[in-house]
């Protein structure tokens, strides 16, 4: 076959010079040793990121407690609706808690964050027994409003025969109270600390949604006079909580200070003394947070180390 015979053989001398070089090159490539296997970098196992620990103040109003929480190092978020008439001390989350979407939003916070404490203060406007005290006639004659009772001992959920407007107010207050009760029950199930604040004689405590909480074996009601915690009046307030530490709030007026009067006054508009007592005094807010047991129990909530220098106690306290 002469020069046209191109059979691959180890006798490369029989191939034409050019063909021999090309085939030799092909053979060299074919016979090259395989490259070393590629070594991939070792992947670290994925670490599940923990949810941030936060405290919530529901119906925060002035957000005084939220502000105090931040002042002592807590990560806190206040929640109220856009119609909140109080000027909040810091930015808050807006949600209408009488509407399903607003309630769903607050519930979503428990999934987004690791909520470890919840404070709730449902508005007591329709719940207040101050409505049962009549404004003096001479003030009414001068134009002072005279709010009428909307509830009674026999009808804590709302008096029969209310006007459409008053029935709407009472209905919304009941929905809000029921939602707070549901959150408290959730906190009991999940072992989350909670507090609910309202006047001691508020009709809130007699609502069907609240009665089971008041009677629950893991909750306590602690009454105190606000003047002992920096208030200007001797208002009786109650805290319902699943935390034994809250019992340290109990105080009765010692008579060593003056009180501002109750009633209605003209201050660039008619003003009720009860409305002036809505904002928590800073000393009360701090006492709510700074008790020894309370700090130890929730010290992991702090953004900075807890500065409690007293003897440490177990973080899991009996309720």
| Dihedrals phi, psi of 241, to nearest 5 degrees | -150, 160
Point out the least confidently predicted range of 75-89, 135-149, 189-203: 135-149
Q: Looking at per-residue confidence, does 11 or 278 come out higher?
A: 278
Tokens representing 233 are: 């009046």
Question: What digits encode the pLDDT tens for the residues 285-303?
Answer: 766 665 434 543 544 443 3
Point out the least confidently predicted range of 142-151, 176-185, 235-244: 142-151
Mean per-residue pLDDT for 168-173? 96
In this structure, what is the dihedral angle of CA atoms 99, 104, 107, 108, given to the nearest 10 degrees?
-140
Q: Looking at per-residue confidence, does 39 or 153 come out higher?
A: 153
* Structural domains of the chain sorted by starting position, each given as residue range(s) with its CATH number in brackets: 53-301 (3.40.50)
Point out the least confidently predicted range of 62-71, 105-114, 206-215, 257-266: 257-266
Amino acid 302: pLDDT = 39
Spell out the residues 6+ positions from residue 105 whose beta carbon is closer than 8 angstroms to its own. 93, 95
Query: Model confidence at 279, in pLDDT bands (50, 70, 90)?
Result: low
Q: Is the Cβ–Cβ distance between 79 and 106 less than 8 Å?
A: yes
Q: Looking at per-residue confidence, does 11 or 115 come out higher?
A: 115
Mean per-residue pLDDT for 237-248? 90
Mean per-residue pLDDT for 74-87? 86
Query: Model confidence at 209, in pLDDT bands (50, 70, 90)?
Result: very high
Q: Is the pLDDT of residue 257 over 70?
A: yes
Looking from the CA of 32 toward its CB, the CA atoms found within 13 Å total 9
Return the residue matching tokens 């309630």: 103
Outline where the chain has alpha helix (H). 17-30, 64-71, 100-112, 137-141, 164-190, 211-215, 273-276, 282-290, 292-297
Mean per-residue pLDDT for 251-268? 77
């Amino acid at each position: 076959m002469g020069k046209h015979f191109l059979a691959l053989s180890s006798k490369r001398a029989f191939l034409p010079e050019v063909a021999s070089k090309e085939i030799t090159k092909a053979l060299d490539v074919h016979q090259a040793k395989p490259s070393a296997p590629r070594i991939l970098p070792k992947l670290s196992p994925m670490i599940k990121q923990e949810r941030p620990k936060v405290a919530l103040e529901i119906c925060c109003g002035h957000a005084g407690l939220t502000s105090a929480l931040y002042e002592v190092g807590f990560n806190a978020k206040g929640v109220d609706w856009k119609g909140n008439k109080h000027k909040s001390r810091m930015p808050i989350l807006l949600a209408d808690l009488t509407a399903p979407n607003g309630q769903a939003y607050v519930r979503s916070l428990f999934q987004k964050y690791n909520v470890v404490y919840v404070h709730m203060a449902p508005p007591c406007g329709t719940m207040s027994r101050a409505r049962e005290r009549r404004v003096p006639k001479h003030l009414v004659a001068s134009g002072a409003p005279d709010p009428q009772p909307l509830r009674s001992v026999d009808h804590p959920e709302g008096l029969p025969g209310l006007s459409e407007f008053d029935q709407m107010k009472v209905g919304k207050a009941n929905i809000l109270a029921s939602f707070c009760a549901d959150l408290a029950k959730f906190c009991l199930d999940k072992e989350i600390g909670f507090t609910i604040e309202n006047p001691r004689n508020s009709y809130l405590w007699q609502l069907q949604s609240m009665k089971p909480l008041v009677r629950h074996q893991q909750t306590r009601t602690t009454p105190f006079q606000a003047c002992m915690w920096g208030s200007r009046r001797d208002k009786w307030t109650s805290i319902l909580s699943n935390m034994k530490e809250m019992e340290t709030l109990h105080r009765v007026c010692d008579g060593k200070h003056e009180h501002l009067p109750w009633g209605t006054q003209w201050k660039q508009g008619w003003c009720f003394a009860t409305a002036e007592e809505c904002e928590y005094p800073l000393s009360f807010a701090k006492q709510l947070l700074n008790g020894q047991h309370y700090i130890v129990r929730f010290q992991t909530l702090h953004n900075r180390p807890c500065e409690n220098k007293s003897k440490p106690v177990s973080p899991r306290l009996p309720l």
